[in-house]
Each structure stands twice: as structure tokens, then as C-alpha cells.
């Protein structure tokens, strides 16, 4: 019940607003794309009264988080990530939709008893520019950055399952291969007009459809930062793990096999032997 209210809170608040104030016509009515379509955004609502455009942002929180917000009295101190999100939306609306949004009406609902917290957060152009620079830096990275949280961080413990923790902390490869975790894939940054967020394959020299990206192919090789070992030969993709060296690739240890091995103490077990005997694959669910 608590989660259902969390999901529906945007719709409930949008419907409760006096219609005379609402410029947009429902959630997801105002949005856009940046950096050849690799960054997409959608704001909750755009409001207008007293000669001022205002973004509206709706959130929900459990009692513990909600009470902390009330005590702090500051959306920014409560959750800097959420604060950056609304700065990003306000700047993006001004830049891409020709409005002049000056502030954001933040409404947070306590999921346990429907108490409401409201705050007006002013737009900070310098913060927006910094956020956009950071977004561009992130999108242009060719490999995942090293983890910034430790295993004991509450976000790692509470919001990631055991397998995701292993991947995030660098102990496991992802479970399944796809083009986005293959070292041959690249984002296309030359699509500024249509902004389709396209990806391509350096090995097969082609643009990849979304379905192709999800499927990957037999030539997949892991992005080295996703392999729980040290890359010691970049040409041959040879890794060192403890006293052992191994090579990733379709003619050596294929990527899907490596995902199985690293979850299995690096032991070639019966499942792998059967898969090999029947030219099949093992799939991690």
C-alpha cells in the first residue's frame, strides 16, 4: 500500500492542482533531450501565476525520511541528488522550451500518513551549468567510473541485491552480456539534429538497434573495468587474477562463460561441461 501511494503521488498531486496554474497538461508533457539524445528528461508540471513560471516537483518518502526533511527544512540538505535534478529540469526548460522558470514548488508526501511538506527552491544557473558539464562528462565516459560508495554504505546495502553489489564493487562481471557492456560499443555523438541516442559497434562497424544492443553477439568482450581481475595486455585482452592469467574473447574464455565462472569460484563445473559438450550456453538468471 505504501509503495502504491509512492507510485501514484505525481498523478494525484497533478490532478489536485488548480487548473488555472498549470501550463503543462500532465506528467511527461514537458521534456527534451541533450547530447545527441543520450540524456533525456521529463519534468512533472510547469505552473504559472503572478507573472512567474514555476516548475513543480512531486516526491514521496516514508515517515523516517519525511521527518528528517521536516527537521532540516531544506530540500537541498535533505537530498542533494534530488536538488540537482530540479536545477537540471529548470535549466533545461529555460534552454529548450523558451520559458523563464525562476523557481520550483517542491511537494513531498509522507507515504505513511499523507502529511505534506512544501518548499520553494530558487533556480541557480551556475548549478545548472555545472550539472550539465557533469552529465556530459559522465555520458562521454567509455567505461564505468570506480565505485564511490563502500560495501557498508546504506545505499549499497539497501538498494542493491547481492549480485548487483558484487558488480558495483568490482567482484563480479554483470550477469548477462549486451552491447552496452562490450568493449566494442560506442555512443554516437554525431546525431544532434534527431537526438536518437544511438549506439554503434566498432568491431562490426554499424549502428546498433535497441534489440541488437540487448542481445549482444558472440564477439562480445567485457569492458575491462567490469572484469574482476587486472588487465595486463590490452592487445590480447589478457587478465591476471591471483596467480592465474586468462584471456577474454570468443576463442578463449567467452564473456558469458566468464560471468558464470566468477560466480562459481572460478571453477569449471558440471553445468559448464554439459553446455560445452552440447555447444550450448549457461544462462545466469
> Where does this chain bind ligand SF4 (CB under 6 A)?
179, 182, 184-185, 201, 203-204, 216-217, 219-220
Nearest approach, Cβ of 172 to ligand SF4 (angstroms)?
19
Pick the closer one to ligand SF4 by CB: 61 or 201: 201
Of the pair 99, 184, the CB lying nearest ligand SF4 is at 184
217 or 275: CB nearest ligand SF4: 217
Report, in Å, the least distance between residue 51 CB and ligand SF4.
52
Q: 102 or 191: whose CB is closer to ligand SF4?
A: 191
**In this complex, which beta carbon is closest to ligand SF4, that of residue 161 or of residue 234?**
234
Q: How far apart are CA 285 and CA 283, in angstroms?
A: 6
Neighbours of 91 (CB within 10 A): 20
**Which residues, 6 or more positions from 37, have their beta carbon under 8 angstroms from its beta carbon?**
191, 194, 195, 196, 197, 198
- Enumerate long-range contacts of 1-6, CB under 8 Å, 24 or more apart: 2/62, 2/111, 2/112, 3/111, 5/60, 5/109, 5/111, 5/114, 6/60, 6/111
Q: How far is the CB of 280 from ligand SF4 (least distance, A)?
A: 19
Q: CB 276 → ligand SF4: shortest distance, Å?
A: 21
* Least distance CB 236 / ligand SF4 (angstroms): 17
Beta bridge partners of 241: 244
| Nearer to ligand SF4 (CB atom), residue 178 or residue 264 | 178
- Nearest approach, Cβ of 262 to ligand SF4 (angstroms)? 19
Amino acid at each position: 500500500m505504501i509503495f502504491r501511494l509512492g507510485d501514484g503521488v505525481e498523478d494525484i498531486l497533478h490532478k489536485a492542482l488548480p487548473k488555472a496554474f498549470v501550463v503543462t497538461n500532465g506528467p511527461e508533457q514537458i521534456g527534451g533531450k541533450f547530447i545527441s539524445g543520450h540524456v533525456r528528461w521529463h519534468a512533472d508540471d510547469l505552473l504559472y501565476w503572478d507573472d512567474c513560471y514555476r516548475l513543480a516537483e512531486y516526491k514521496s518518502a516514508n515517515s523516517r525520511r519525511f521527518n528528517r526533511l521536516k527537521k532540516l527544512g531544506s530540500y537541498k540538505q535533505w537530498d542533494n541528488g534530488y536538488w540537482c535534478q530540479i536545477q537540471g529540469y529548470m535549466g533545461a526548460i529555460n534552454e529548450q522550451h523558451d520559458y523563464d522558470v525562476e523557481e520550483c514548488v517542491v511537494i513531498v508526501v509522507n507515504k505513511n500518513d499523507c502529511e505534506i511538506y512544501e518548499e520553494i527552491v530558487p533556480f541557480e544557473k551556475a548549478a545548472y551549468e555545472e550539472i550539465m558539464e557533469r552529465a556530459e562528462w559522465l555520458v562521454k565516459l567509455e567505461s564505468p567510473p570506480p565505485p564511490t560508495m563502500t560495501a557498508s554504505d546504506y545505499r549499497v546495502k539497501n538498494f542493491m541485491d547481492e549480485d548487483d553489489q558484487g558488480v558495483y564493487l568490482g567482484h563480479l562481471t554483470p550477469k548477462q552480456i549486451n552491447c552496452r557492456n562490450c568493449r566494442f560499443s560506442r555512443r554516437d555523438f554525431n546525431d544532434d539534429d534527431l537526438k536518437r541516442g544511438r549506439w554503434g559497434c566498432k568491431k562490426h562497424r554499424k549502428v546498433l538497434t535497441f534489440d541488437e544492443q540487448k542481445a549482444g553477439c558472440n564477439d562480445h568482450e567485457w569492458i575491462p573495468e567490469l572484469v574482476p581481475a587486472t588487465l595486463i595486455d590490452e592487445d590480447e585482452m589478457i587478465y591476471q587474477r591471483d596467480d592465474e592469467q586468462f584471456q577474454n574473447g570468443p576463442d578463449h574464455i567467452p564473456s558469458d562463460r566468464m560471468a558464470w565462472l566468477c560466480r562459481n569460484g572460478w571453477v569449471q563445473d558440471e553445468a559448464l561441461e554439459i553446455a560445452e559438450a552440447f555447444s550450448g550456453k549457461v544462462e545466469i538468471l
